């Protein structure tokens, strides 16, 4: 019922020329994918990537979006600006944004609402740190982060959102939650959405795993019933590696 979605988070990597070459290499490798394919590039690469992926099954994503339409917000990009560049998805609340740039649950909510109302699909990131998992806070934390991020959205808007569960302790560390751990926590997120918006809505929301998914572990994770895709970091920077995840 839920179409899987694999999104690459390129983070602060690739020049426009390098980005265009990467997607050129990627196109033939994922043309028969049975999932939605998204590349979330640096903003400076939008103009180079968009014409290359035009007419393919690859969609363009951003790594952030601001909650205001315009104003004195140096360094930020509004949803309308992103739309004008051909962006269809936007990562919101990634743990690196929370850790290094002061994102809060409140600003994540504002950005997510701005994105969905502009017709951009938000990929909302939630997840726990290692000590929070060890102390038994994971379930309460991810449920709180998720419901806070969705505050103010209608049930129909919630259906369109993508959630990415990214255990912070597994990002860029090579560590990965077991298939069962990831599935269980994503089930907790879905159950929280069901309590607030009803099971029919929760069953429509796509929830990705975002903790170091790679060609070696993708098939096992994607076999889990609650996992609807992946938010891919390092493995998305090489066409062959990313395609192996896409073609899980």
Is the separation of the CB atoms in 165 and 182 below 8 Å?
Answer: yes
Cα distance between residue 42 and residue 217, in whole Å: 26
Of 4, 77, 14, the closest CA to residue 41 belongs to 14
User: CB neighbours of 104 closer than 8 A, spacing ≥ 6?
Assistant: 98
User: Which residue is catalytic, options 96, 103, 128, 166?
Assistant: 166
User: CB neighbours of 173 closer than 8 A, spacing ≥ 6?
Assistant: 212
Whether 128 sits among the annotated catalytic residues: the reply is no
Whether 66 sits among the annotated catalytic residues: the reply is no
User: Which residue is catalytic, options 66, 94, 96, 103?
Assistant: 94
Tokens of residue 184, six digits: 């269980």
Residue 50's CB is within 10 A of a number of other CB atoms, namely 16
- Calculate the CA dihedral of residues 109, 115, 119, 121 and round it to 10 degrees: -80
State whether residue 210 is helix, strand or coil. Answer: coil
Residues annotated catalytic, as ranges: 94, 166
């Amino acid at each position: 019922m839920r179409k899987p979605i694999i999104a690459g988070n390129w983070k602060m990597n690739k020049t426009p020329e390098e980005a265009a070459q990467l997607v050129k290499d990627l196109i033939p490798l994922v043309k028969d994918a049975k999932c939605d394919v998204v590349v979330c590039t640096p903003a400076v690469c939008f103009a180079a990537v968009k014409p290359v992926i035009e007419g393919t099954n690859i969609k363009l994503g951003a790594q952030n979006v601001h909650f205001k339409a315009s104003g004195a917000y140096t360094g930020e990009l509004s949803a309308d600006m992103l739309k004008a560049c051909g962006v269809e998805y936007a990562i919101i609340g990634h743990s690196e944004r929370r850790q290094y740039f002061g994102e809060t649950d409140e600003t994540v909510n504002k950005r997510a609402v701005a994105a969905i109302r502009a017709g951009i699909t938000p990929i909302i990131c939630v997840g726990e740190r290692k000590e929070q998992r060890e102390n038994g806070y994971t379930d309460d934390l991810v449920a709180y982060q998720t419901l806070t991020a969705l505050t103010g959205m209608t049930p129909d808007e919630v259906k369109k959102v993508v959630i990415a569960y990214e255990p912070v302790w597994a990002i860029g560390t090579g560590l990965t939650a077991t298939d069962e751990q990831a599935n269980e926590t994503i089930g907790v997120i879905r159950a929280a959405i069901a309590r607030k918006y009803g099971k029919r809505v929760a069953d429509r929301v796509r929830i990705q795993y975002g903790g170091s998914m790679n060609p070696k572990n993708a098939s096992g994770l994607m076999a889990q019933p609650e996992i609807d895709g992946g938010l891919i970091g390092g493995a998305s920077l090489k066409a062959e590696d990313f395609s192996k995840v896409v073609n899980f």
